[in-house]
Structure 1
Amino acid sequence: MNFSHLTYFKKLAEVKHFTKAASELYVSQPTLSAAISSLEKELNTRLFYRANNKIELTPCGEEFYDYVSRGLRIIEQGVQAVEEYEGKINGTLNLGTLYAIQSKDWSQAIQSFQDECGAGLTINITQGFTPSLFEGLESGRLDVIFAGKPQTSNKYNCTYCWAQELAVAVNKRHPLAKKSVVTLDDLAGFHIISYHEDSPVYDEMEALLQQAECELDVEYAYNDEITLSSLVNSDTNDVALLCYSFLVKAFDDVVYLPLQDAPREFHKVYLISNKAITQPRVVSDFVTYMKNYHFPTATVRPLQKE
């Protein structure tokens, strides 16, 4: 089985378009088509089918893709291991990250590591939400991710990096907007929106709100800080509870207040890798570097009084 053909198959399975795949592989479309036909002939099955001017993997193709991805990844790790043994820092670090944590400090940390390693290292950054990032870890497509610790973390290596502060987000015209700090009791009587139950933040949020002496009206339904902020940006009645990050500063009509009852390090961000996958040295070097890097916790600042 031709190594190049496997590489071509993997690329086509990911972009699902012959012309685009051929362009990214720097080969002609006939060359790509011939490689896929050769694979299908050797396996005696179809790997792709056409649907609405696109191509999709057949069930056999999906199964084959999982094995090819893992196999190519292992070969890549072997090449990196040999290069590292020879003292070279070459290869690729496939890094996943949540949208909300890509602050200036985060970017500086990534660049600092890149500068230390030199031009031989390529860092591919994938942005996404928590479920897709963990899917990337499981498949081997991602080496390591920045995310919250999963509820079942026994199959992952989790290294603490920094924390996010909890913020109470309200519209500028909301009754709470002029406060400098909010307590759980202050939230009584308001409709509260926050993260859905599958979010890594949910358990922390629920445990905190259960400390309230009064009953709170909480809707756990949303994915991220942007959605929560946009809702209170247009609604003068709701209250959002969210992790404070640089992303929320884009909303001029939203005020972010600290919650007195919440710990300052409310939601911890970890660097996470898959225990089941042997990682090249560059991954462990990256984890060690980030573990020792100083990431400041963003401070929630209330509306300045005029």
Structure 2
Amino acid sequence: MNLNQLHYFSKLAEVEHYTKAAEELKISQPSLSHAIGSLEKELGTRLFEKQGRGVVLTKYGKLFKEYVDNALHSLETGVKTVRTMTSQTEGVIELAYIYTLGSGFVPQLVGDFLRTHEELKVHFRFTVGNTSEIIQGLKDDRFDIGFCSMAEGENAILFTPVGREKLVVVTPKGHPLSYESAVDLRQVAEYPQIFYTPNSGLRPVVNRMFEQAKLKPKIAYEIEEDGSMAGLVAQNFGIAVMPQIPVLRQLDVDVTPLRNQNQKRYFYMAEGRTKYQPPLVKRFAEYVKKRGIE
């Protein structure tokens, strides 16, 4: 059984005449007769019976037609969907990003892309997660592009730096460090810390800062999402070293620069190194690369 046989069967069931069906299919009548005969032989039953100069479906032909119609409709939908998604001018881009980029970087980037490419019919689907989830999603083909931290040892992923965030100390209002113009890590290490979880892309960055200063932080709580981290700080669960993200302006916290530390957190556009990219995805990726580091 092959796809041509199903198309031939469907057309013959529609017009109920071998000659007319062959003409519409643009094949010879013997070819149509042979295809239907082979199909009936494979199924072990008659699908058509003669009626006057034409043919009609048998009881089993009618039953089979329901399944053939569903199969052909599903296939046609699939073809249209794939053509749309891989079109030069329209399609869907599956985009994933870490929490810190959701309030500013990603909305601005996507908005700018859409405004400068009004001729395109592109729809973005957004997913928020941590770096490890995003990288796994890229490997599993659930995402086309990711914006996240760099992960060591991920040779299947191409990381392109696209932005940076300054690391600062975030404290509750009225905290002793709030009154300093700048603080060093030794001062920070004296207080309970809210730290990133081990699977966060920022955990190695902050760990490295303390290790280089030969200090061991007092980790009181761990969390992976920056907004929630700042919320815990606002409620006096501890202090945190984290990126200077826009949401900090909306919370009851103080932000203090780190002295003698020019640490910045870089984030990256992540792509599957050998994965096929539809034209629109490739066009968006090139747009991001040309935009450079912000």
- Give 1:126-275 correspondences, 5 Å limit: 126-219=127-220, 221-235=222-236, 238-251=238-251, 253-264=252-263, 266-275=264-273
Partners in 1 of 2:135 and 2:278 — Cα distance?
Answer: 19
Partners in 2 of 1:224 and 1:202 — Cα distance?
Answer: 11
Partners in 2 of 1:170 and 1:128 — Cα distance?
Answer: 25
Q: CA deviation at 1:93?
A: 1.2
Residue in 2 that maps onto 1:91: 91
Q: CA deviation at 1:295?
A: 5.8
Q: CA deviation at 1:243?
A: 1.8
* Per-residue CA distance 1:247-294 (angstroms, 9 max, x = gap): 22221x211112124324x21111111124211122222122112326
**What amino acid does structure 1 have at the position aligned with 2:228?**
T
Residue in 2 that maps onto 1:108: 108
User: Alignment partner of 2:276: what SS?
Assistant: coil
CA contact (8 A) 1:161 1:295 kept: yes
**What amino acid does structure 2 have at the position aligned with 1:114?**
L
When the two chains are superposed, the root-mean-square deviation of aligned CA atoms in Å is 3.0
CA contact (8 A) 1:159 1:287 kept: no
Partners in 2 of 1:229 and 1:104 — Cα distance?
Answer: 16
User: Alignment partner of 2:178: what SS?
Assistant: coil
**What amino acid does structure 1 have at the position aligned with 2:111?**
Q
CA contact (8 A) 2:170 2:230 kept: yes
**What amino acid does structure 2 have at the position aligned with 1:280?**
P
Q: CA deviation at 1:227?
A: 2.2
- Judged with a 3 Å threshold, the aligned counterparts in structure 2 of structure 1 residues 103 and 219 are, in CA distance, closer, same or farther, namely same
- Judged with a 3 Å threshold, the aligned counterparts in structure 2 of structure 1 residues 159 and 169 are, in CA distance, closer, same or farther, namely same
- Judged with a 3 Å threshold, the aligned counterparts in structure 2 of structure 1 residues 116 and 246 are, in CA distance, closer, same or farther, namely same
* 5+ long unaligned stretches in structure 1: 3-37, 43-71, 297-306
Q: CA deviation at 1:170?
A: 0.6
**What amino acid does structure 2 have at the position aligned with 1:142?**
F
* 5+ long unaligned stretches in structure 2: 4-66, 72-77
**What amino acid does structure 2 have at the position aligned with 1:279?**
Q
* Per-residue CA distance 1:63-93 (angstroms, 9 max, x = gap): xxxxxxxxx7x99666555x43xxxx11111
User: Alignment partner of 1:141: what SS?
Assistant: coil
Partners in 2 of 1:102 and 1:295 — Cα distance?
Answer: 17
CA contact (8 A) 1:164 1:244 kept: yes
CA contact (8 A) 1:137 1:273 kept: yes
**What amino acid does structure 2 have at the position aligned with 1:281?**
P
Partners in 2 of 1:177 and 1:80 — Cα distance?
Answer: 51
Q: CA deviation at 1:189?
A: 2.2
Q: Kindly tell me the number of residue pairs found equivalent between the two proteins.
A: 222
Partners in 2 of 1:75 and 1:151 — Cα distance?
Answer: 39
Q: CA deviation at 1:174?
A: 0.9
Rg comparison, structure with higher value: 2
CA contact (8 A) 1:151 1:200 kept: no
Partners in 1 of 2:90 and 2:125 — Cα distance?
Answer: 13
User: Alignment partner of 1:161: what SS?
Assistant: strand
For normalisation by structure 1, the TM-score amounts to: 0.64
User: Alignment partner of 1:167: what SS?
Assistant: strand
Partners in 1 of 2:103 and 2:185 — Cα distance?
Answer: 28
User: Alignment partner of 1:210: what SS?
Assistant: helix
Partners in 1 of 2:130 and 2:293 — Cα distance?
Answer: 21
Q: CA deviation at 1:155?
A: 0.6
Partners in 2 of 1:80 and 1:231 — Cα distance?
Answer: 42
* Identical counterparts, % of pairs: 21
Partners in 2 of 1:120 and 1:139 — Cα distance?
Answer: 25
CA contact (8 A) 1:105 1:295 kept: no
- Judged with a 3 Å threshold, the aligned counterparts in structure 2 of structure 1 residues 286 and 262 are, in CA distance, closer, same or farther, namely farther
